[in-house]
Chains A and B, each alone.
Chain A
């Protein structure tokens, strides 16, 4: 028997949290190990607790879901994150996926989708609410379009793609180096390679490209 999936819930609405707990706890393989009602509590708890999947609301006091995710990534916590949010928003979805989130479900359909989502995510699969599938298709199409418009994208190595994404998140070379645990000279080297492959010239061309296409890489 597989170990129970340890779940952490962060949401600032107690009633909704309660409902969510009831639903999750109906499944015996899922176990809620902690709860928080704001972002800051959440990140500190996540650091202490052993959590497999964190279900985070995006709108939270003190620190929003995006920020919590960034910190999780920064702290290299091996936690999968699911955004459970009211925002039916393509931009949020893209941003979330750019941040490496695996699940994005709307609170509207939490009852029906959360358990499946947690399971999928805990198994390394991505899951989004069915209402958002259209956005996901857009995203894929955009990536394809980019690849078609700029076939060079396919030449980028995974490391280069990751660096490009981080550039798109307005990270400096130093920040990228820290996050990827590589030397700053290496980052510079990768940037140069990216520019060469993508035929980017000029000071801001790389940054602009990265920002425009980070969701499509």
Chain B
């Protein structure tokens, strides 16, 4: 396989010389290189078992978005530390070969992919496209890329190099070599350097030439060339490792083993050190000339194929057939019996009061100073081997609690204090207060004061809350705090000059006061009048202003068993728990306890960080100490764990939306997500790109417009949103790395959930309009219906009234013209007969009688006719007819009528005149019949547009009913008829009546529609 040959066939032998100065160099056998121990690196490997598509990693790089990209013989792989996302011929049409040979990211963030078949493919924002298709032969395997400062693209291949002007595939020049171009770099001067199978080639002033040193010693015959972050060019040749300085490559490390072996990859790190892989080992060449070797033979047999550092400082190694290896710099140090401690189980740690190292208790006591150790055991005078407590008194005495009793060490001499009459299992804690009183806490034996060689014990019968004392401290006010298995006792310390009291007045706290657990293992007084209490089973308690607030596992604390609280001076607490060591920001703890945040995230450290055991050993005192150099030492079930809190650094942790699916269908993550009606299950896959401990990356997300608080997703990398209500949302996700440092950037996804048509505003508007339309329609319909009914009724009334009037007129005419005339004839005839001289006297008398009877009948006819139909109306007009009618009425009653009637003639049609007349007549008749009035006033005034009638009396009035259609009403048909007649004239009327003010009828008739 040509490409493999090119990139691996480099150097035959290595004799590694370190050139301390450029003038003098010396050779060093690589076999004598110092082997880096596990204390420097943590290693981890991924293979196809863990999700890789194929186990040979030909090339790798970290793109600017934070992803790791791997070229394999099974496709292109994108890695976020947890998940391998594979792009291959099956799912990526632009890829015609699964054998990816070279990867490169240019200045624009474009990812370039070279395949074994010679294809050049580029990717940006998840979309792939073919840049140039190869001929498929092994002669055109793509080996390397470079986008130079001019923007030109160089592509190294098996037998030469393509030069694309400004990345335009159609303007390309091919330079043929008889060697594969495995690496391309550009130096500061703009020269292009090619590492080839045979020699180092330089592009200068438009020409390629084989590079020779001034000595022309041809030492650079097979090359990998790389540039470090400082711009230095490095090369590995058949002769060794060289660096380009002052215009010339100088050999820093000479290959002197004269063995045919492959040097595979070279990776400069940030510290100007160069790393190279050499078969199954990684070598680090430091500037000082030290060559370190890190053996990976337990992980790879096929050897190293590719190497790179990620931004967090992890070294990634791609192997031939053995998968992907990560070497993480170890942040946590450990000490154990390997380092010379008395035991692997550690119980207590305390720094020497004179700065002479550290005292480490376990099974035996180890004094550790700069790698020198002294061990104290029973054979050295200790009452028991198991150390349970350590404390320096102000006089420099080290007090030692053991399972067998109390001892002290001063000036190298151990003194043992014999057991008193009281029960003494073991001293669990020792404390010297500000008054130089020494206090001992006994497991089950209460609190003991030691002063001037005298012991005095205080127990529950003296008011102590529990006899199993585990922790003693003093606050700034001189109050002593005694932590026991059954709660906390406090009391004012006893002054140095005072007598030892017989009894002490304790103030006690336990779960009844709000403490989450009575088993107290540590009490820490913070500067802000706040006490933090570590409990065994109840997490951490904050005591502030007399109130206990617990923080536990369910709130995000690393453990509910907190044996030690160490502040690091950087705002964090480091907590020793049963499940590991945890770091948490004190500010966040306070925020949580104050209710200002929902949850918290702890940094978590354990075996994954290289600790010999994750389990803290917290039953003794002190269960961990902060040293003067700032490091924190914790006793573990196995070994001492030494943490430098400075490892917690703000770190950029890119957070990305990887995939969005809606009802299992994948959507474009680069544009706004639109959820249509009927689509329901939205899944958002996100990732945080931290490669140190990716499995401990924690996330919180928020869907703005739905959530007010962050959702603590923990390590879950998917958010589910089924059934989102319609609206615009913004999904924001942030991540914290394993140190609980939150990313300052967030991944954001805009989401719009469209309302189904029946929830859209326009539909609602339409529905509302439709509804109101319907309402209006039915109202109108009902109105029309009523109107029609009313019209029909009115029509009927009108018809009745008209018919009535016509009939009256007809009868009146019949009477007048028929009967009346006949009677007149009779009367006149009889009068003629009467006048006739010839008649007998009897006859004359008869005629006279007939005449008189006729006259009487005529009078009756006159009366009836007049009543039936006012003949004045036809002859003299409405005005006079009304006047006549009123006069007639006035003449017949004692009521004083006053009338003012405007000229109304020719105002109405003839048929309307009768109607108007009847209206007035009805009013007048009502006054006559019902009012009992003494005065009445009739005003009929004609105006330009209307006629106004006001008829009032000073009579007894009546109560007008709203519903004057009731025929039983006093007004009876009279008022109904009047109302009907007013309506027939298109007028309105009102009746006001009260006993005090009589009755007033007003009628208004609009003339404009006449």
Q: Which residues of A contact B821 (CB under 8 A)?
A: 13, 15-16, 86
The answer to whether A108 and B876 have CB atoms under 8 Å apart is no
A window 49-94: CB within 8 A of B: 58-59, 64, 66, 86-89, 91-92
Is the beta-carbon distance between A91 and B816 smaller than 8 angstroms? no
Q: Does the CB pair B875–A12 fall under 8 Å?
A: no
B862 within 8 A of A: yes
Chain A residues with CB under 8 Å of B876's CB are: 66, 91-92, 95
With beta carbons under 8 angstroms apart, the residue of B816, B829, B880 that contacts A86 is B816
Q: Which of A110-125 contact B (CB under 8 A)?
A: 110-112
A-side contacts of B883, CB under 8 Å = 91
With the chains together, A207 CA to B942 CA distance in Å?
14
Minimum CB–CB distance for A204 against chain B, Å: 9
How far apart are the CA atoms of A66 and B905 in the complex, in Å?
15
**Contact assessment for A86 and B858 in the assembled complex, using a CB-CB cutoff below 8 Å:** yes
**Provided the pairs A64-B875, A88-B862, A112-B835 are in contact, do residues A107 and B903 lie with their beta carbons within 8 angstroms?**
no
- Confirm or deny: B884 has a beta carbon within 8 angstroms of a beta carbon on chain A: yes
Interface residues of A in 92-148 (CB under 8 A from B): 92, 95, 107-112
The dominant DSSP class at the A interface is: helix
Beyond A109-B831, A112-B835, is A16–B880 a contact (Cβ under 8 Å)? Answer: no
Please tell me if B871 contacts chain A, counting CB pairs below 8 Å: yes
Cβ–Cβ contact B832 & A108, under 8 A: no
Cα distance A1–B835 in the bound complex, in angstroms? 27
The 8 A CB mask of A1-42 against B (1 = contact, 0 = none) is 000000000001101100100010000000000000000000
> A170 to B905, alpha carbons, bound, how many Å?
10
CB distance from A70 to the nearest CB of B (A): 12
Residues of B contacting A211 in the complex (Cβ-Cβ under 8 angstroms): 903
Q: How large is the interface on B (under 10, 10 to 19, 20 to 34, 35 or more residues)?
A: 20 to 34
Which residues in B have their C-beta under 8 angstroms from that of A107? 824, 828
Residue B695 is within 8 A (CB to CB) of chain A in the complex: no
In the complex, what residues of B have CB within 8 A of residue A12's CB? 817
A107–B861 CA distance with the chains assembled, in angstroms: 13
Q: What 0/1 readout, one digit per residue, does chain B (798-821) give for beta carbons within 8 Å of chain A? A: 000000000000000000110011
Q: Is the CB of A58 within 8 A of B875?
A: yes
| Distance of A23 Cα from B858 Cα, bound (Å) | 21
A16 pairs with B875, CB closer than 8 A: no
Q: Is B820 touching A91 in the complex (CB atoms < 8 A)?
A: no
A15-B825, A19-B829 are known contacts. Are A108 and B858 too (CB-CB below 8 A)?
yes
**Cβ of B872 < 8 Å from any Cβ of A?**
yes
The listed residue with most A CB atoms (<10 A of its CB), out of B821, B822, B828, is: B828
Q: When A66-B875, A92-B876 are in contact, do A19 and B884 touch as well, CB less than 8 Å? A: no
User: How many angstroms from the CA of A1 to the CA of B831 in the assembled complex?
Assistant: 30
- Secondary structure type dominating chain B contacts: helix
- Any chain A CB within 8 A of the CB of B827? yes
A104: min CB distance to chain B, Å: 14
Q: Inside 8 A of A59's CB, which chain B residues have their CB?
A: 816-817, 871, 875
Chain A residues within 8 Å of B905, by CB: 170
Q: Is residue B21 contacting chain A, with contact meaning CB distance below 8 A?
A: no
Task: Kindly list chain B residues whose C-beta atoms are within 8 Å of the C-beta of A64.
Answer: 874-875
Give the distance in Å from the alpha carbon of A66 to the alpha carbon of B903 in the complex.
19
Bound: A73/B822 CA distance, A: 32
* Contact partners of B828 in chain A: CB under 8 A: 16, 19, 23, 107-108, 110-111
Tell me the minimal C-beta distance from A55 to chain B in angstroms. Answer: 14
Interface residues of B in 817-863 (CB under 8 A from A): 817, 820-822, 824-825, 827-829, 831-832, 835, 855, 858, 862
Question: Do B855 and A108 touch across chains, with their CB atoms under 8 A apart?
Answer: yes
Q: Which residue of A lies closest to B818 (CB)?
A: A13
| Contact residues in B for A58 (Cβ distance below 8 Å) | 875
Residue interface bits B387-425, CB-to-A below 8 A is 1, else 0: 000000000000000000000000000000000000000
Question: Do B903 and A91 have beta carbons less than 8 Å apart?
Answer: no
Instruction: Give A109 to B829 CA distance when docked, in angstroms.
Output: 10
Q: Which of B556-582 contact A (CB under 8 A)?
A: none
In the complex the two chains form, what is the Cα distance from A92 to B828 in whole Å? 22
- Which residues from A are CB-within-8-Å of B875? 58-59, 64, 66, 92, 95
Query: B908 → chain A, closest Cβ, in Å?
Result: 16
Question: In the complex, A211→B876 CA distance in Å?
Answer: 13
Q: With a CB–CB cut-off of 8 A, which chain A residues contact B816?
A: 59, 86
Contact (Cβ within 8 A) B824 A108 = yes
Write the chain A residue with the least CB distance to B880.
Answer: A91
A13 near B829: Cβ-Cβ < 8 Å: no
Cα of A87 to Cα of B855 in the assembled complex, Å: 13
Q: Which of B817, B824, B835, B872 gathers most chain A CB within 10 Å? A: B824
A111 and B831 contact, Cβ closer than 8 Å, known pairs A13-B821, A87-B871, A91-B880: yes
Residues of chain B contacted by A95 (CB below 8 angstroms): 875-876, 880
CA distance A75 to B376 in the complex (A): 162
- Is the Cβ of A112 less than 8 Å from the Cβ of B824? no
Complex Cα distance A15/B858, Å? 16
Residues of B within 8 A of A110 (CB): 824, 828
Alpha-carbon distance between A170 and B878 when the two chains are bound, in angstroms: 14
Annotate A154-167 by CB proximity to B: 1 below 8 A, 0 otherwise: 00000000000000
The complex places the Cα of A12 from the Cα of B829 at a distance, in Å, of: 18
Residues in A with CB closer than 8 Å to B820 are 86
Instruction: Digitize A176-216: 1 where CB-to-B-CB distance is under 8 Å, 0 elsewhere.
Output: 00000000000000000000000000000001000100000
Which of B825, B835, B875, B905 counts the most chain A CB atoms within 10 A?
Answer: B875
Least Cβ–Cβ distance between A201 and chain B, in angstroms: 18
Q: How far is the CA of A111 from the CA of B903 in the complex (A)?
A: 39
User: Which B residues, 159 to 201, have Cβ-Cβ distances below 8 Å to chain A?
Assistant: none
Question: How far apart are the CA atoms of A208 and B188 in the complex, in Å?
Answer: 122
Please name all residues of chain A whose beta carbon is closer than 8 Å to the beta carbon of B880 when the two chains form the complex: 91, 95
Given known contacts A87-B871, A111-B828, is B817 in contact with A170 (CB within 8 Å)?
no
Lowest 9 A-B CB distances belong to which pairs?
A111-B828, A13-B821, A111-B831, A107-B824, A111-B832, A15-B825, A110-B828, A91-B884, A16-B821
Could you jot down 26 A-B contacts, CB within 8 Å?
A: A13-B821, A15-B821, A16-B824, A19-B828, A23-B832, A59-B817, A59-B871, A64-B875, A66-B875, A66-B876, A86-B821, A86-B862, A88-B862, A92-B872, A92-B876, A107-B824, A108-B828, A108-B858, A109-B831, A110-B828, A111-B828, A111-B829, A111-B831, A111-B835, A112-B831, A207-B903
Q: What is B's interface to A at a CB cutoff of 8 Å?
A: 816-817, 820-822, 824-825, 827-829, 831-832, 835, 855, 858, 862, 871-872, 874-876, 880, 883-884, 903, 905
New A-B contacts (19) at CB < 8 Å, excluding given A59-B875, A112-B831: A15-B821, A15-B822, A16-B824, A16-B825, A19-B828, A19-B829, A59-B817, A64-B875, A66-B875, A86-B824, A87-B871, A88-B862, A91-B883, A92-B875, A95-B876, A108-B858, A109-B831, A110-B828, A111-B829
